[in-house]
Structure formats: structure tokens, C-alpha cells
């Protein structure tokens, strides 16, 4: 029996990357997965992968920045399933915007709207579907919510907000048997990386990956499935006494104050191969 057998799991941002990997893992573990994404066509591709593997899933369009869209998702879920067991608030965007005095207001508003406000809206309208029997909510934060990045203050603000919003939700709903935790990935090999800095075979993309592999104690970028299995732990009863926590999965980056001998030691280049 799977760890999420017969449970209904809703995943926003499930078209690609961590969201897609988590949808596949949840389905493998017996969940009925609702793949919610602004890109319905890509979300349907996730569903097809799940069905080909023998799992159960459906795709539904949702724009987490729009109240009507999230309300429609809630209505559909109530009519189709009655209740839900797991909510993975994973939808998010990222983009470099410059120093604060140069940062485009529109970009700041957009990142906050998708990453932070979207987490709030989806939680607000889907929590009522959990109140009767409890459940687990996982919010995608980031190591960038715990420390800052150059020229990305909007993303830092949004992810830092998600981390503390998670704590607020956890104490609000602990006695309703709803656990709320956040997952903070490090640099993960996803299509978002390709969009932000270029693909593996492009010069800028290769430089970015090499730099991140160097600064990461484990000497490599993370994989989407590695994040998905952490989300599985938080979604399942294996974490039944865990709430209000931020679980960082970053290959060790947040564990040090400076790289030390990593500045001159390049063994990671061969160790990670």
C-alpha cells in the first residue's frame, strides 16, 4: 500500500519541474492527483505521464493570482471529491530585477502576486475542504527565503513571506488536524533554470551550473525528484507530528558561513561526476 493511498492531493505549478516530479511521486504512492496550473496543456502532459504509469490524475486550469480562478478550483474539488487531503502550494515565478532602487515595480508586484499572494489565495479557498478530517499543506519556499540573492529582492521578499506565512498557518490550524510546512529547495535542475540563465549546453547556463555546483557542498544541483520525496514525507503520515517547519533541501549551502577550503579544493568536479 502506498503512503498516500486513496488520498486526494492538489498540486499547483504541476506542469513542470518540482511540481511535475511531485505529482508523479504522489501518484506512485496511491494519491489521486489534481494537477493545477496556469498552463493547462503542460499540466495535461503531467497527467498523461501519471496515467501511463497506472496512476490517477486530472488537470485543471488555475491562475493563483485570480480570486475567481482559485474559487472555481475549490468548487470543482468539492463537487468532484468532497474533500482533499494534501495541498502543495508550488506555483511560483522568479526573475532577476536589479537593485531595489532600479527594481521594476511591475515585476515586484508580479512575483509577490504569484508566489506569496497565490499561496495565500489557494490556502484560503482550499483549507475549508480539509477542515472536517484534517490534512497536510506544503508551501514551496526557497533557501532564498532564508538568505538574500543579488538583484532578486522581490523573490527574496516573497519566499521569506511564505516561510513565515507557513508558521502562521500551522498554529492557526494545528487543532484542526491540518499540518502546514514549507519546503525550501536549493538550486534545482528545472526548466525554470533554463529560462533564467540558459540551458546546459549554452555558455551562460553552463557557467551558472558550474558556479552553483562549486558553492554547493554536495558538488551538484538538486534534482526535482529529490524535492518530490521530501514533499512526500511532509504529505504523508510519516510526518504526523511535524508542523510549522521549513525543511531546507539545498545540498548543504545554508550550512556554512563561507566556503573555506572549497575556494581552492576542486575535487567536487570529479566527485560529482
Could you tell me the CA-to-CA distances from 225 to 22, 23, 24, 248 in Å, in that order?
A: 7, 10, 9, 15
Which has more pLDDT, 223 or 212?
A: 223
H or E segment and range at residue 2: none
Tell me the C-alpha distance between 207 and 195, whole Å. Answer: 14
Which has more pLDDT, 260 or 77?
A: 77
139's grid cell:
508551501
Return the active site residues: 155
Domain boundaries, the chain: 8-188+223-256
Helix axes 224-235, 17-28, angle to 10 degrees: 50
Give exposure, 154-175, as e/b (b: 16+ Cβ within 10 Å): bbbbbbbbbbebbbebbeebee
The distance of Cα 5 from the centroid of its chain, to the nearest Å, equals 22
Average pLDDT over residues 231-259: 95
What whole-number percentage of the chain has pLDDT above 70? 96
254's grid cell:
545554508
- Lowest model confidence (mean pLDDT) among 66-75, 114-123, 255-264: 255-264
Looking at residue 273, what is its pLDDT?
53
Looking at residue 129, what is its pLDDT?
98
Which has more pLDDT, 260 or 136?
A: 136
169's grid cell:
498557518
Q: Check pLDDT > 70 for residue 269.
A: no
Tell me the C-alpha distance between 239 and 193, whole Å. Answer: 30
- Which superfamily does 8-188+223-256 belong to? NAD(P)-binding Rossmann-like Domain (3.40.50.720)
Q: Check pLDDT > 80 for residue 264.
A: no
Which has more pLDDT, 88 or 197?
A: 88
124's grid cell:
484560503
Q: Check pLDDT > 80 for residue 262.
A: no
Q: Is 38 helix (H, G, I), strand (E, B) or coil?
A: coil
Beta strands (DSSP E) in 128-234 are 135-140, 178-185
Looking at residue 268, what is its pLDDT?
58
Looking at residue 260, what is its pLDDT?
73
Span 166-197, pLDDT tens digits: 999 999 999 999 999 999 999 999 887 888 78
Q: Is 178 helix (H, G, I), strand (E, B) or coil?
A: strand
- Count of Cβ atoms closer than 10 Å to residue 186 Cβ: 22
Q: Check pLDDT > 80 for residue 28.
A: yes
Average pLDDT over residues 105-121: 98
* Beta bridge partner(s), residue 222: 188
Looking at residue 184, what is its pLDDT?
98
* Residues 6+ positions from 273 with CB-CB distance below 8 Å: none
Q: Check pLDDT > 90 for residue 263.
A: no
Q: Are 60 and 73 contacting, i.e. CB atoms less than 8 angstroms apart? A: yes
Which has more pLDDT, 265 or 13?
A: 13
Q: Which residue bears the cell 497506472?
A: 54
Could you tell me the CA-to-CA distances from 178 to 181, 189, 212 in Å, in that order?
A: 10, 31, 36
Span 215-226, pLDDT tens digits: 899 999 999 999
Tell me the C-alpha distance between 166 and 243, whole Å. Answer: 9
Tell me the C-alpha distance between 205 and 202, whole Å. Answer: 5
Amino acid at each position: 500500500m502506498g503512503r498516500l493511498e486513496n488520498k486526494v492531493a492538489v498540486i499547483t505549478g504541476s506542469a513542470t519541474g518540482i511540481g511535475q516530479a511531485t505529482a508523479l511521486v504522489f501518484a506512485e504512492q496511491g494519491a489521486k492527483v489534481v494537477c493545477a496550473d496556469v498552463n493547462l496543456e503542460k499540466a495535461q502532459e503531467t497527467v498523461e505521464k501519471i496515467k501511463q504509469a497506472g496512476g490517477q490524475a486530472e488537470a485543471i486550469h488555475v491562475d493563483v493570482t485570480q480570486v475567481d480562478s482559485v474559487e472555481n478550483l475549490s468548487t470543482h474539488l468539492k463537487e468532484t471529491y468532497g474533500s482533499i487531503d494534501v495541498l502543495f502550494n508550488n506555483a511560483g515565478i522568479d526573475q532577476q530585477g536589479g537593485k531595489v532602487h532600479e527594481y521594476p515595480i511591475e515585476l515586484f508586484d508580479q512575483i509577490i502576486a504569484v508566489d506569496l499572494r497565490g499561496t495565500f489565495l489557494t490556502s484560503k479557498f482550499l483549507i475549508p475542504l480539509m477542515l472536517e478530517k484534517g490534512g497536510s499543506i506544503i508551501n514551496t519556499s526557497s533557501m532564498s527565503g532564508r538568505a538574500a540573492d543579488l538583484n532578486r529582492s522581490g523573490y527574496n521578499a516573497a519566499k521569506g513571506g511564505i516561510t513565515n506565512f507557513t508558521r502562521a498557518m500551522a498554529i492557526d490550524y494545528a487543532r484542526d488536524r491540518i499540518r502546514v510546512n514549507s519546503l525550501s529547495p536549493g538550486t534545482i535542475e528545472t526548466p525554470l533554470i533554463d529560462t533564467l540563465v540558459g540551458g546546459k549546453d549554452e555558455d551562460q547556463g553552463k557557467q551558472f551550473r558550474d558556479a552553483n555546483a562549486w558553492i554547493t557542498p554536495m558538488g551538484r544541483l538538486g534534482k526535482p525528484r529529490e524535492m518530490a520525496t521530501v514533499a512526500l514525507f511532509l504529505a504523508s503520515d510519516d510526518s504526523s507530528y511535524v508542523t510549522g517547519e521549513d525543511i531546507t533541501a539545498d545540498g548543504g549551502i545554508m550550512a556554512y558561513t563561507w566556503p573555506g577550503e572549497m575556494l581552492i579544493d576542486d575535487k567536487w568536479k570529479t566527485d560529482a561526476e
